[in-house]
């Protein structure tokens, strides 16, 4: 079922109730200026002195204080077949999304957020975690990285690719969640990746701009 709540022409910053520093949120908003909160992320937004355009979710975490202050912007979606993160993604249409506050507390929440990013190839979603920037691997990706930068590939299904500019090339290797995974590779300079299948790319958060540029953002 579709619940279209917001349609925008700029990037959207999605804020969850997990770990998200004030500095990271402020930086995200310079890139994706429309703020949308997922459930308890509405409280986090208010703590930061921000008022989201919308708060979306099953609302089991949003405080009564936040509901009152954000009256008219709170959208209850009762279905329990998806996470609040996924509810935001199917309710908000935007060119791309920067997602913060979806990691750093419960591991099951973090894993579910990563699964959502991996499972939505039709949307450009960049997740900012405490140490990492994470996004789904597109068919081709060019990254302007310094030598020594960490590049990890985490398969969420069968994945096979080719690489240029990695210390340990991936060409000819089959990746899978129950087999070979690609953590802690290193760039030797600019990196070009091509691949088929489902995998997440994880870079150091310092390379957010390189990730966005590689995704055409």
Q: Is the pTM of this model over 0.85?
A: yes
Q: Residues of the chain with pLDDT > 70: what percent?
A: 99
Mean pLDDT of 186-198: 96
Q: What DSSP line would sit under 147-163, residue for residue?
A: TT-EEEEEEEEEEEEEE
Nearest one of 131, 183, 204, 191 to 163, comparing CA atoms: 191
Q: Looking at the predicted structure, is the pLDDT value of residue 61 above 90?
A: no
Q: For residue range 11-54, what is the model confidence (pLDDT) as tens digits?
A: 999 999 988 999 999 999 999 999 999 999 999 999 999 999 99
Domains and CATH numbers, the chain: 6-130 (3.40.50.10240), 136-214 (3.40.50.10240)
- How many residues in the chain? 217
CA distance 147 to 124: 26
Q: What DSSP line would sit under 66-115, residue for residue?
A: HHHHTTTSEEE----SS-HHHHHHHHEE-S-EEEESSSSS-HHHHHHHHH
Let me know if 144 is exposed, middle or buried by CB neighbors in 10 A (0-12, 13-18, 19+). middle
pLDDT of residue 94: 97
Q: Residues of the chain with pLDDT > 90: what percent?
A: 87
Q: For residue range 145-171, what is the model confidence (pLDDT) as tens digits?
A: 999 999 999 999 999 999 999 999 999
């Amino acid at each position: 079922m579709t619940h279209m709540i917001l349609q925008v022409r700029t990037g959207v910053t999605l804020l969850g109730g997990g770990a998200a520093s004030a500095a990271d949120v402020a930086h995200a908003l310079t890139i994706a200026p429309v703020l949308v909160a997922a459930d308890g992320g509405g409280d986090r937004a208010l703590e930061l002195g921000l008022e989201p355009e919308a708060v979306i979710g099953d609302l089991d975490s949003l405080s009564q204080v936040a509901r009152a202050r954000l009256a008219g912007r709170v959208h209850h979606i009762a279905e329990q077949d998806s996470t609040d993160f996924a509810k935001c993604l199917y309710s908000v249409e935007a060119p791309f999304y920067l997602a913060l506050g979806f990691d750093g507390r419960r591991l099951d929440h973090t894993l579910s957020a990563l699964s959502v990013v991996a499972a939505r190839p039709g949307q450009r979603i960049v997740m900012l975690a405490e140490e990492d920037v994470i996004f789904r691997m597109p068919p081709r990706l060019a990254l302007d990285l310094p030598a020594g930068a960490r590049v990890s590939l985490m398969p969420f299904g069968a994945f096979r690719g080719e690489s240029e500019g990695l210390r340990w090339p991936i060409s000819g290797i089959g990746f899978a969640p129950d087999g070979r995974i690609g953590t802690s590779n290193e760039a030797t300079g600019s990196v070009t990746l091509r691949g088929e299948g489902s995998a997440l790319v994880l870079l150091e958060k310092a390379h957010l701009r390189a990730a966005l540029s590689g995704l055409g953002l």
